[in-house]
Amino acid sequence: MRGELKLDVLTGDRTACAGGDTVRLLLAGGGQAVRVVRSLRAHGRRWLIAFEEAADANAASALIGARLIAHRDALPPLSAGEYYDHQLVGCALFDDAIGAPGGPGTVGVVARVEHWPASDVLVLEDGTLVPLVVGYEPRIDLGARRITMTLPPGLIDPRQGVSDR
């Protein structure tokens, strides 16, 4: 009613903008827009954001599905063990369970990170999906551009762990 939009913040409880900031949006239809943040407030697990240029629900509806773009240098600092999506893109993914004795095998290279309801998911360049979950014991070394995990048999190659009966 007040032109507020739901905002899923992918930086935990930290936001990269505040009231009065000018932000860039990637619109759902593929275009871009520059808007001034009128207000930003927590609302349950999400945030509600309103823009000066969209003072009512009708004007705000044109922004549904847009993605707010923040400059990397404007992002808030993260705690140990937290990473931004762009930091993981380009990292090689290794699996402790495959490969040469004494060393993990290469699974692929991270093309993007998607945020699914159950977990974050690494999407590899070949389209393979790998959940980024504690159970797979992820070890991330940004300096080496490397993510090492212990993946269950059959996650990457469905023939793994299948017996010939």
DSSP letter for each residue of 22-53: EEEEE-TTS-EEEEEEEEEEEETTEEEEEETT
Please state the pTM of the whole predicted model.
0.64
Q: How many angstroms separate the CA atoms of 3 and 145, rounded?
A: 42
Q: Does position 12 have pLDDT exceeding 60, yes or no? A: no
Model pLDDT for residues 131-140, shown as the tens digit of each residue: 999 999 999 9
- Give, as one character, the DSSP assignment of residue 95: E
Superfamily of domain 85-149, CATH level 4 = PRC-barrel domain (2.30.30.240)
Model pLDDT for residues 90-122, shown as the tens digit of each residue: 999 999 877 655 556 888 999 999 888 888 999
- Domain extents in the chain: 5-74, 85-149
Q: Does position 141 have pLDDT exceeding 50, yes or no? A: yes
Model pLDDT for residues 38-81, shown as the tens digit of each residue: 998 888 777 888 899 888 888 889 898 888 877 777 677 778 88
